[in-house]
Amino acid sequence: MTYAAPIADMRFALEACADLWSLRERFPDLDEDLLAAILEGAGALAGETLAPLNRSGDRARISLANDVVTTPRGFAEAYQAYKDGGWQGLAADPTYGGQGLPRAVALAVMESVHAANMAFGLLPMLTLGAIEAIEQHGAPDQKALYLEKLISGEWSGAMNLTEPQAGSDVGALTTKAVPQADGSYAITGQKIFITWGEHDLAPNIIHLVLARIEGAPAGSKGISLFIVPKFRDADGSRNAVRCIGLEEKMGIHASPTCTMAFEGATGWLIGEENRGLVAMFTMMNAARLNVGMEGVAVAEAAYQKALAYAKERKQGGALIIEHPDVRRMLMTMRAKIQAGRAICYACAVAADGDDKPMEDVLTPIAKSWSTDMGVEVASLGVQVHGGMGFVEQGGAAQFFRDARIAPIYEGTNGIQAIDLYGRKLLGDRGEAMRRVIDMAREAAGQSKDARVATHLGDAANALETATDYMLSAARDDALAGASAYLALAGDVVGGMLLARGVAKTSDAAQSAVLNYYADTVLARAGAHLPLIKLTAAPLAALG
């Protein structure tokens, strides 16, 4: 696989659309030259080291023997290069060796990593979640013990939430934690679908594990979070945690998805007893945004491959890129990728700027809209290839297979829609969403293109109508339309950000992308309204 980081598109989305430089006072060490160096350096790592391993890793897969997971050839060297480059700690606390840069910049780096090799990128992504959880909820001694090695990449991290009988309903978990005399806990239970829960790339893996302390309340109110290292801290001995199985998956074949057994493993409480969900959501929100970026990244890789194929494949005596329908597919891919990229970056900038209401409302949109888009774009990439897209030799199928997990990861996209409605919209009675609507109308008013202004303005009106309905509807009726509501919100946010960016530049290519997005996505925004207002009654016919 070949991949070239689309640095011009990334910088446009970061700087013009997501307004990165509004953070100058918070991050005075970041300037245009440093940003360029970071994006170019990450792009070189992605293109030269990670991308060549994407296809070979997919074919070789991983293996488990004697509790040890072996990764494909070349992954150890690639991880060493990633670690040596200091990429893991870009946005981490400088006290523990991080660089203290904006999360938006670190997210852009992760875009290149995931686009080049999503299976590999999941490893540092999970470590980022562990870093954030320990930074925000760990005791001083825990920060001193774990953060430096996680931030340097010497150790990796893993999230252990899901159990066979408790998927998204973490309140149903049965993993137990028994207090020990030395202040530790003995953790016993089984976790499934644990990404990079075991591997041979780092000498220690720091598991963050949800469990219930004996005597704790039932349900989610009785859940605590524990740090369970693969090797114990005091004497370096092997802890009682092991991988007992690997999932055979549709995609991301080079990424181990483990069943983990905790057999009286030594763990330490992070945060307060029975407050594990608070710490878990620190990891989860970070992961949700990163997974949204995965959707953008794999879509970009699929687009680059489809574009290259269209420029070399002849059909009917002409290159297929000359066919209007192929151009339609490619332009759809590019426009939606750029919108998703801007949404994810804008969410990260909101987090960096401590704009919590905007971060909260954008997180489920970034995760859900961008990953659904990633599947759609990867599917279009297969279509551009025709028959060669459907066979594995063509290489396009892998992007579709890999992308398909992202709408499921870290709370399915249906759960994101429920979150947008139940926690975010009802939580502030639509205040943050009305800010989004006002921003869209402002961007429409600033547009120099009449069609863009009309389509974006009409889409903002549709979102306002939908928001009023969601706030007034009965709960079941609102939930029936929640996914369509999120899709509409994503369409509007993407258009608003692209329009904001184009208003700041004179880039003809970005203007063309915006115009196409307005004519094909924003122009159909009102079509979401019947689905949003469907109500729960027709769904009862299912029985």
As annotated, the active-site residues are 410
CA–CA separation, 271 and 276 (whole Å): 7
Alpha-carbon distance of 227 to 349, in angstroms, equals 29
Q: Which amino acid is at 49?
A: T
Q: How far is residue 210's CA from residue 224's CA, in Å, rounded to a whole number?
A: 6
Q: Tell me how far apart the alpha carbons of residues 176 and 191 are, in angstroms, rounded to a whole number.
A: 12
Alpha-helical (H) ranges within 153-275 are: none
Distance CA 460, CA 491 (A): 10
Give 275's DSSP letter: -
Q: What are the residue ranges of helices labelled H in 61-102?
A: 75-84
* Contact present, 21 and 15 (Cβ < 8 Å): yes
**Sign of the CA dihedral running 105, 109, 110, 112:** positive
Phi-psi category of 183—alpha, beta or left, where left has phi over 0 and alpha has psi -120 to 50? left
Coil/strand/helix, residue 191 = strand
Query: DSSP string of 126-172?
Result: HHHHHHHHHHHH--HHHHHHHHHHHHHTSSEEEEE--BTTBSS-GGG
**Three-state DSSP class for 263?**
strand
Instruction: Show Cβ contacts of residue 353 under 8 Å, excluding neighbours closer than 6 positions.
Output: 22, 23, 26
* Euclidean distance between the first and the last CA atom of the chain, given in angstroms as a whole number: 47
Q: How far is it, in rounded angstroms, from Cα 430 to Cα 489?
A: 12
Q: How far apart are CA 439 and CA 514, in angstroms?
A: 16
Which of 184, 207, 202 minimizes the C-alpha distance to 120?
Answer: 202
What is the Cα–Cα distance from 491 to 342, expressed in whole angstroms?
A: 12
Q: Quote the Cα angle for 333-338-340, to 5°.
A: 95
d(CA 246, CA 269): 27
